[in-house]
Amino acid sequence: MRILVVNPNTTASMTDKIAAACMRVAAPGTEIVAVNPLDGPPSIEGYFDEVFAVPGLIAEMRKAPDMDAYVIACFDDTGLDAARCITDAPVIGIGEAAFHMASLVAGRFGVVTTLARSVPAIEHNLGKYGLATRCARVRASEVPVLELERPGSQAYHAISAEIARAIADDHAEAIVLGCAGMTDLADRLSSEHGLPVLDGVACAVKLTEGLVSLGARTSKLGGYASPRSKSFAGLFAPASP
Amino acid sequence: MRILVVNPNTTASMTDKIAAACMRVAAPGTEIVAVNPLDGPPSIEGYFDEVFAVPGLIAEMRKAPDMDAYVIACFDDTGLDAARCITDAPVIGIGEAAFHMASLVAGRFGVVTTLARSVPAIEHNLGKYGLATRCARVRASEVPVLELERPGSQAYHAISAEIARAIADDHAEAIVLGCAGMTDLADRLSSEHGLPVLDGVACAVKLTEGLVSLGARTSKLGGYASPRSKSFAGLFAPASP
Amino acid sequence: MRILVVNPNTTASMTDKIAAACMRVAAPGTEIVAVNPLDGPPSIEGYFDEVFAVPGLIAEMRKAPDMDAYVIACFDDTGLDAARCITDAPVIGIGEAAFHMASLVAGRFGVVTTLARSVPAIEHNLGKYGLATRCARVRASEVPVLELERPGSQAYHAISAEIARAIADDHAEAIVLGCAGMTDLADRLSSEHGLPVLDGVACAVKLTEGLVSLGARTSKLGGYASPRSKSFAGLFAPASP
Amino acid sequence: MRILVVNPNTTASMTDKIAAACMRVAAPGTEIVAVNPLDGPPSIEGYFDEVFAVPGLIAEMRKAPDMDAYVIACFDDTGLDAARCITDAPVIGIGEAAFHMASLVAGRFGVVTTLARSVPAIEHNLGKYGLATRCARVRASEVPVLELERPGSQAYHAISAEIARAIADDHAEAIVLGCAGMTDLADRLSSEHGLPVLDGVACAVKLTEGLVSLGARTSKLGGYASPRSKSFAGLFAPASP
Amino acid sequence: MRILVVNPNTTASMTDKIAAACMRVAAPGTEIVAVNPLDGPPSIEGYFDEVFAVPGLIAEMRKAPDMDAYVIACFDDTGLDAARCITDAPVIGIGEAAFHMASLVAGRFGVVTTLARSVPAIEHNLGKYGLATRCARVRASEVPVLELERPGSQAYHAISAEIARAIADDHAEAIVLGCAGMTDLADRLSSEHGLPVLDGVACAVKLTEGLVSLGARTSKLGGYASPRSKSFAGLFAPASP
Amino acid sequence: MRILVVNPNTTASMTDKIAAACMRVAAPGTEIVAVNPLDGPPSIEGYFDEVFAVPGLIAEMRKAPDMDAYVIACFDDTGLDAARCITDAPVIGIGEAAFHMASLVAGRFGVVTTLARSVPAIEHNLGKYGLATRCARVRASEVPVLELERPGSQAYHAISAEIARAIADDHAEAIVLGCAGMTDLADRLSSEHGLPVLDGVACAVKLTEGLVSLGARTSKLGGYASPRSKSFAGLFAPASP
């Protein structure tokens, strides 16, 4: 089984970290191919950055049309709906992956993400997925995405402090880490706080493996129907939609 | 007052129709500037097309930074959240414009849009805006967007038939037309069916005029904060985010 | 265009303040006629006062049947549903006006109103309009309505303090002022706190102007159907329902 | 125990029918006093009629301040919130009474009311009470209120037909009769259709008896706080609020 | 009228207290029969204990098939749905009883229960009943169930302190006591805090009396249909389902 | 990895079918142990049967405390909350498993279950899990559970017909099969109808494998806390809770 994991930002160190996280949990027969676009924002922090990341994400998927499944490794699930239109293979966002997995081990989970500006997009996703009632609260640690890549960063402590508040004040029973760049922190945070801490990257790998094993395909009825054929120009324009 | 109305698809005849609709309802002191990107999809029908329309939409807004307000003339409110990040002038999508206006003249409205594939995106918007409970149902007429541009099209009749069903079966008390290309049909449909029929293009002009008159600005707290400065390449990449 | 603005309480100084607020934002061709009933409560603070204000409100509307639109200048939107039954011109409450406008410039707004006893009615309206999910919280400043009319009042400071809490604790991105008597405070509060502060009186004027320009009428299907003819006595009884 | 049952319309034959229904179910020690205002609409069919019924309803309650509890015998629960402000005795609307009782004997109930114009007000109440999810659908029989008073009326058959549809199409497991004037039809309809059919008048008597026995009082915290003292003129104006 | 009140735990002193509470509020003609299973958990604190209490509860009901109504005297409404399947007499849980009664005397109520582990089950019930929006918050006093039975316990003070917080922080307008063992504390807590404090045991008696007087039966359409005949072994297995 | 799959009814042929379905999708290293209680109902059709199945389910889990994960192979997710209390290994119900997986491949899914009496329990679960908005409708095929075990049964055709209606009338984009006994029909139904058809048994195996690989444990904060130690008698009573 081959899974394409697309980090939709252009920061290669983050792609490497994501790839490592995927491989740690991948089943023996699973091949992980982790990529990122060459063009686009180096990190995705809010609605604006998302826009410029999605064409590159779609382009990466188009370059690898024979994959068994696709993972979008940005917690906003950037471009997820569009990505599902161009394939009937499973496509999973790491945000939704973590929300669904957390819902299976706890009655109510909290989310700890990077910047406050990213909170509304996450809340909208929770509402759209139907899981808003399972989420106690989305909290911002005010750690920027790329600070997670910096050696010597104090990010762990800021995130850990926010988890403590989520447990005490929001009665969170599990924690979802709200950024792909936090994938290497989950185990240590879980041990420290004594509750499940879920990283969406790892969750997404297991969910895509599961869906592929089941033979489940993305439905082509409704919103994920294959795009109608249209010719248009532009850097990211589809060669053959 | 100058309002930039961006048709995010590349079909110039549709931009012209939208411009005419805007001018019909604009107040005396309002100048309407209607544009469309040169690159991108000729029509927006579902999640996939949206992705390729938004960079061009943002580019058009960046070319005209001194406008008093911006209207996004696609019923999916394509790129609305991102667009709000780059300005503190009001930015209104024609979908939300019609939903809010319909909520002021009826207890419950129905939506009649183009293709079934566009229904989920509209339903998600209604949920996100909070107005899902005001909407009786989103119905597809199965008229493609560009069919609305074709002389001799039978689109009117298909839409009218769907409105009749919305009244009889869904108890809709007003109708929202779910495509910018239907803007010229609203009055005739309202007369035929004896209930308010709202076109988002016209609604958006009046709402932006109103917000500008009030001096209301897009909030920079939360999700619409100005983008953090990032340099990245690509055709549509921001020169100075 | 002629808009009848009814202050449903009997305090003439408040009617004057409301009229001034309307005129500040009215378009050149708009004539504002501001009235209040002669009989009824001098202020509306909660469910009980509402009851006695509505017959007078309806009577004022009946005296001016040729208006192009009607505004109900009480933040509870007192009598709004009944008022919509007696005309097919647009009728807008200042509460709903502010909620809808705030939803167009912010993801989430807070409301700061007068007394705690008024909070439940406002919350019910938000639920009924569908916009409860857009509202972070309704806060009471514990400033009575008529204190807003008293020269030398400390009302501004109490309201400002509550706005500060709405931003810090509720993550409000815009503020809706929850009383017609606060209409003159919006601009100063907006400057002080650096976020949009919306006054429903001004919002309602622009929304009614917009609806009239669009030719939108109140739907007569459903709950706003014209009243069935009934003869009954009593001071406020309709002459010709 | 003395319960004042106020029919808020002026039709004495309906008040008599309501009184009889109350007495059929009242406990031995319960005294029912059934009244109606002299002034106001002869029937309440929608938002407009409600307005003119409430001052008379409040006046009737004020004439009998020593009652142990109050019932508002109109299915719209007309004036319920205001009525709760002027007493700390329990005040029950027949609509809410039936909704709560139906929720105790069935997973999901249907409502069959009089005219389509009354449906939105009932739906709003269900939302406000929190019980919208328990209601399968509110159906209109298109039987006007006073037709229920006419000897030889075909109302029974129209209502029965609508119940059959509620069972077959909406999967209703119990039926709530949506008008005080239907109080004498409940038993026959229940036998005919083989499911619980609840009449709000009878339900309200038992709920008020229950609350009085428990010593439960209407809370004076929040929206039902006693009205602030205000002097104002008008036919129905409170002598001593 | 004979009501079987089943305390589904095996603590006889608690059954006695429940019986006394029932008799205090029962109408003259009502006979209360209070029982508990011989086998099963001595207290019900969370999901696990519930499982082992329900077969005994059902067995107690089967021993008394001629009762006019049944009350399940555990605040989790343990086994309520199953119990409704085996009779068409009314069956009321004390949790739902208190929620419905509180909804009739206050806009918003708070719940104060025993242990934090019981909170999710109560929240699920509120959601299922439709009354989640009426509940400000479910609070745990961290008083175990059987501590309420211990002479000299400090339970009253812990509960009272939590009520104070519910009023101040959650704006609760009434309080629901979240355990059958708190039934003797309601009056004193109501006096101390000046708001309605509802005990589900007493509420359930009055609601069952009411439903029996009305002749209302549990619906056999839908989920409460009589069990299909099945033979199976086991201690609690039904003799004749 | 060892997964205990408990069929909570006593029908061994169904346990065999479930075991086969698990093995078809299990990963190479996964050992499936499928069991059923000896005592209890032969099928679970509604609330009543659930009660008598859960003690046996818990007993089976206690007999195998060293498993890596547990699956409850009844679509009602019978006893799921209680089961989670006695282990910190993952415990997955097949209903929730299918709902979550369907949410990853379609915007909206339909459920086709056995008898109408089982629909409310499924709807309650959907509400509790938060996924009610993702479900278009729960439909009953009126095929009893054990009919699915009978050679020569017409069950396939009844289920297939209901799927056709779910697509046409409810706009379902994927189908969830609402009974463990349907596990062998999924592939054929998916081929016939051209959309994803999900069987909860298979979904649960993949989700438990995933959670175990991730090292995710059931949270012991909140409702799934380990049971407090209590001694009580009875056939199914816990030896050491």
pLDDT tens-digit readout, C82-114: 999 999 999 999 999 999 999 999 999 999 999
Task: Kindly state the average pLDDT of the residues B67-74.
Answer: 98
Q: Quick check: E124 and F128 CB within 8 A? A: yes
Give the model's pLDDT for residue A21: 96
pLDDT reading at E96 higher than 90:
yes
Confidence of residue B241 (pLDDT cuts 50, 70, 90): very low
Chains touching B by CB (3 or more pairs below 8 Å): A, C, D, F
Give the pLDDT confidence of F149-203 residue by residue, as tens digits: 888 899 999 999 999 999 999 999 999 999 999 999 999 999 999 999 999 999 9
* 3+ Cβ–Cβ pairs closer than 8 Å linking D and F: yes
Query: Contact at 8 Å (CB) between B72 and B78?
Result: yes
Give the model's pLDDT for residue B237: 53
**Range list of β-strands (E), F7-147:** 31-35, 69-72, 91-93, 109-113, 135-140
Number of other CB atoms surrounding residue F181 within 10 Å: 29
> What would the two tokens of residue F143 be?
């095929």
State the pairing for strand pair D135-140/D109-113: parallel
pLDDT reading at C236 higher than 80:
no
Give the model's pLDDT for residue F104: 98
F120 touches chain D (CB under 8 A): yes
pLDDT reading at A64 higher than 90:
yes
Torsion of CA A210, A211, A213, A214, to 10 degrees: 120
DSSP state, residue E214: H
Give the pLDDT confidence of B79-133 residue by residue, as tens digits: 999 999 999 999 999 999 999 999 999 999 999 999 999 999 999 999 999 999 9
Please give the Cα distance from D107 to D173 (Å, whole number).
Answer: 7
Confidence of residue A237 (pLDDT cuts 50, 70, 90): low
pLDDT reading at C232 higher than 80:
no
Task: Kindly state the average pLDDT of the residues F204-223.
Answer: 97
Give the model's pLDDT for residue F241: 39
Same CATH fold assignment for domains C2-94+202-224 and C95-199: yes
* Closest C-alpha to C137, from E170, E172, A121: E170
Chains touching D by CB (3 or more pairs below 8 Å): B, C, E, F
E107 touches chain A (CB under 8 A): no
Please give the Cα distance from A232 to B41 (Å, whole number).
Answer: 6
* Closest C-alpha to D50, from D14, D81, D84: D81
State percent of chain D over pLDDT 90. Answer: 90
Give the model's pLDDT for residue A241: 39
Give the model's pLDDT for residue A152: 87
Q: What is the ipTM of this complex?
A: 0.95
Query: Contact at 8 Å (CB) between F39 and F56?
Result: yes
User: At which residue do the structure tokens 């494998």 appear?
Assistant: F209
F108 touches chain B (CB under 8 A): yes
A95-200 is classed CATH 3.40.50.300: no
pLDDT reading at F234 higher than 70:
no
* Closest C-alpha to E82, from E68, E100, E70, E95: E70
Backbone angles phi, psi at E155, to 5 degrees: -60, -40
* 3+ Cβ–Cβ pairs closer than 8 Å linking C and B: yes
Please give the Cα distance from F122 to F115 (Å, whole number).
Answer: 11
Give the pLDDT confidence of D6-51 residue by residue, as tens digits: 999 999 999 999 999 999 999 999 999 999 999 899 999 999 999 9
Residue of A nearest to B221 (CA): A117
Please give the Cα distance from B115 to B106 (Å, whole number).
Answer: 25
Query: Contact at 8 Å (CB) between E45 and E115?
Result: yes
Which of A147-156, A186-195, C157-166, E198-207 shows the lowest mean pLDDT across its residues? A147-156
Give the model's pLDDT for residue D233: 58
pLDDT reading at B240 higher than 50:
no
Pick the CATH number of D2-93+202-224 from 3.30.2320.30, 1.10.1740.10, 3.40.50.12500, 3.40.50.720: 3.40.50.12500
CA F33 from centroid of its chain's CA atoms: 15
Helices (H) then strands (E): counts for chain A? 8, 8
State the pairing for strand pair F69-72/F91-93: parallel
Please give the Cα distance from E178 to E120 (Å, whole number).
Answer: 12
> What would the two tokens of residue C90 be?
């647009």
Give the model's pLDDT for residue E229: 86
E72 touches chain F (CB under 8 A): no
pLDDT reading at B239 higher than 50:
no
Query: Contact at 8 Å (CB) between A5 and A22?
Result: yes
Query: Which string of b and e fits E99-121 if b means at least 16 CB within 10 Å?
Result: bbbbbbbbbbbbbbbbbbbbbbb
DSSP state, residue C76: T
Query: Contact at 8 Å (CB) between C56 and C82?
Result: no
- Provide the CATH number for the domain formed by F95-199 in this structure: 3.40.50.12500
pLDDT reading at A233 higher than 90:
no
The full set of domain ranges for chain F reads 2-93+202-224, 95-199
State percent of chain F over pLDDT 70. Answer: 96
Q: Quick check: D81 and C238 CB within 8 A? A: no
F116 touches chain E (CB under 8 A): yes
Query: Which string of b and e fits E195-230 if b means at least 16 CB within 10 Å?
Result: bbbbbbbbbbbbbbbbbbbbebbbbbbbbbbebbeb
Task: Kindly state the average pLDDT of the residues D46-63.
Answer: 95
Number of other CB atoms surrounding residue E161 within 10 Å: 12
Give the model's pLDDT for residue A234: 55
Partner-chain residue, chosen from A29, A103, A219, that has the shortest CB–CB distance to F105: A219
Give the model's pLDDT for residue B229: 86
* 3+ Cβ–Cβ pairs closer than 8 Å linking C and A: yes
Please give the Cα distance from A199 to A206 (Å, whole number).
Answer: 11
Give the model's pLDDT for residue C170: 97
* Closest C-alpha to C78, from C34, C35, C43: C43
pLDDT reading at B236 higher than 80:
no
E96-199 is classed CATH 1.10.357.10: no
DSSP state, residue E189: H
Confidence of residue F239 (pLDDT cuts 50, 70, 90): very low
Give the model's pLDDT for residue F229: 85
Give the pLDDT confidence of A76-100 residue by residue, as tens digits: 999 999 999 999 999 999 999 999 9
Partner-chain residue, chosen from D90, D173, D213, that has the shortest CB–CB distance to E221: D173
State percent of chain B over pLDDT 90. Answer: 90
D124 touches chain E (CB under 8 A): no
Task: Kindly state the average pLDDT of the residues C68-82.
Answer: 97
Q: Quick check: F55 and E52 CB within 8 A? A: yes
* 3+ Cβ–Cβ pairs closer than 8 Å linking E and B: no
* Closest C-alpha to A33, from A74, A61, A11: A61
Give the model's pLDDT for residue E149: 86
Give the pLDDT confidence of D187-223 residue by residue, as tens digits: 999 999 999 999 999 999 999 999 999 999 999 999 9
Task: Kindly state the average pLDDT of the residues B130-139.
Answer: 97
F175 touches chain A (CB under 8 A): no
Please give the Cα distance from B28 to B90 (Å, whole number).
Answer: 19
Give the up-direction half-sphere exposure of residue C196: CA atoms within 13 A in the CB hemisphere.
34
A31 touches chain B (CB under 8 A): no
Q: Quick check: A211 and F105 CB within 8 A? A: yes
Please give the Cα distance from E10 to E183 (Å, whole number).
Answer: 17
Residue of C nearest to D79 (CA): C51
pLDDT reading at E237 higher than 70:
no
Task: Kindly state the average pLDDT of the residues C211-227.
Answer: 96
Task: Kindly state the average pLDDT of the residues C39-49.
Answer: 93
Confidence of residue F24 (pLDDT cuts 50, 70, 90): very high
CATH classification (class only), C2-94+202-224: alpha beta
* Closest C-alpha to F73, from F99, F59, F47, F94: F94
Query: Which string of b and e fits F99-109 if b means at least 16 CB within 10 Å?
Result: bbbbbbbbbbb
Which H or E run contains A48? helix A47-63
> What would the two tokens of residue B203 be?
């609604």
Partner-chain residue, chosen from C90, C131, C219, that has the shortest CB–CB distance to B130: C131
pLDDT reading at C234 higher than 60:
no
Give the model's pLDDT for residue A72: 98
Architecture of domain B2-93+202-221 in CATH? Answer: 3-Layer(aba) Sandwich (3.40)
Give the pLDDT confidence of E137-154 residue by residue, as tens digits: 999 999 998 899 888 899
> Residues of D numbered 73-102 whose beta carbons fall under 8 angstroms of chain E's beta carbons: which are they?
90, 92, 96, 100-101
